[in-house]
Amino acid sequence: MDLEIIGILVLWTFLFGYVMIASIDFGAGFFNAYSEFTHKNHIISNIIQRYLSPVWEVTNVFLVFFFVGIVGFFPSSAFYYGTTLLVPVGIAVILLGIRGAYYAFATYGKNPAKHYTFLYGATGLLLPASLSIVLTISEGGFITMVNNAPVLDYWKLFTSPLTWSIVLLSITSLLYISAVFLTWYANKANDKKASNLLRKYALIWAFPTMITALGIMVELRAHNPTHFANLLNLWWMFAISFLFFLGTVWLLWKGKKFGIAFSLLVGQFAFAFYGYGFSHYPYLLYPYLTIYDGFTNEAMAISLIIAFILGLALLLPSLYLLMKLFLFNKTYIEGKNPSSKGVPSK
């Protein structure tokens, strides 16, 4: 396999990891704020305390890994994307800052103020919107070269239906992913009330997710026919993804086997995500940058890959330990453990 392909696969995998766990995090924030708003008391805030607080820094590192990695493997992407993305990504960083502050000041320092909970919830929807713009831009047509420097056409970007359908998809799917996961988690915690409420949310958001996904296909066909044709060639991946989707919805409907429902959901998004990624190949940015002309030198590529393998050897066992303690430990998630309420308990 080409080094270029190994590089992009590694990065795409980490991006997928980020999309999944960040969706859970962002969505939980939104549901939390929403239930506060509708006075459904603190059904969800317990789960946020117990599951999200210990892992939010890890979630963040997935993102850091992705953007450090992409500059490492594909230095030219710094030139094209760095110059043009200042505003959308800058805003995303500030929103991430607000979320970090919530964890730092509200949950570590305990009593979160009400308006802060709303702000935290709102960032959960704004973040996917500002981050997903990167995917829109990668489809080409929004960046032009002026005096050898890339320039982003904001007007065109914000009036394009493609932009808005991608934003919508990112929001609906994040709510869906998050609701399915939290249903499972609440069920494991034996919290029937929370589990039922979240199951309802999951079912509500399932179909909008599908519809917005189809919407993107339609928009893409007009916007970037090459990419659209590549997508069609990979139709079977999207078909598998759809079958997984049906499986999740069916299990949720029946109200059983939430663990399997969540695994199917991961499968659904994995097939769709990689299908989209493969069909994007070889472009990082239509039509200026492919993974081949933006790639780093061979010596750097090899050393990055070696570092990656060594890093994984260190990381996977540690991640396993983290999951074992906070995701699969019954006394912890049920909140029976004395240290599950805050940092560090008295």
Partner 1 sequence: MINEEAVHYSRILTEVTLSFHIIYATIGVGIPLFIMIAQWVGIRRNDEHYILLARRWTRGYAITVAVGVVTGTAIGLLLSLLWPNFMEVAGHIIALPLFMETFAFFFEAIFLGIYLYTWDRFDNQFKHLLLLVPVAIGAAFSAVFITTVNAFMNSPQGFEILNNELINVNPIEAMFNPSMPTKVSHVVATAFMTAAFILASIAAYRMVKGSKHIYHKKALHLTVTVGLVFSIASLIIGDFSGKYLAQYQPEKLAAAEWHFETSENAPLILMGQLTDDNEVRYALEIPSMLSILAYGNPSAEVIGLDQFSEDEIPPLYIHYLFDIMVGIGTLLIIVAAIYWLGIRRRWKFIKSKAFLWLLVFSGPLCMIAIESGWWLNEVGRQPWVLHGIMKTAEGATSSNQVELMLWLFTGLYVVLGIGSVIVLTRMFKKNPIERELAERNQ
Site for partner 1, residues 142 to 171, rule: CB under 8 A: 147-149
Cβ atoms 276, 207 nearer than 8 A: no
- Residue 75 Cβ vs ligand HEM, minimum distance, rounded to whole Å: 15
Residues 6 or more apart in contact with residue 207 via CB below 8 angstroms: none
- The nearer residue to ligand HEM, 57 or 293, going by C-beta atoms, is 57
- Which of 3, 9, 55, 61 touches ligand HEM (CB under 6 A)? 61
**Contact track, ligand HEM, 5-44, x by CB under 6 A:** ----------------------------------------
- The nearer residue to ligand HEM, 54 or 141, going by C-beta atoms, is 54
Q: Is 60 in the site for ligand HEM (CB under 6 A)?
A: yes
- Which of 41, 57, 94, 321 touches ligand HEM (CB under 6 A)? 57
**Contact track, partner 1, 304-333, x by CB under 8 A:** x--xx--x--xx--xx-xx--xx-------
- Which of 6, 78, 210, 234 touches partner 1 (CB under 8 A)? 78
Query: Which runs of consecutive H residues, i.e. helices, occur in the chain?
Result: 3-37, 43-47, 53-73, 76-77, 83-84, 86-101, 114-138, 154-159, 161-188, 192-223, 225-233, 235-254, 258-280, 298-326, 330-333
Q: Is 59 in the site for ligand HEM (CB under 6 A)?
A: no
Q: How far apart are CA 201 and CA 178, in angstroms?
A: 9
243 is in the binding site of which of ligand HEM, partner 1, none (Cβ under 5 to 8 A by kind)? none
Residue 78: CB atoms within 10 A of its CB come to 14
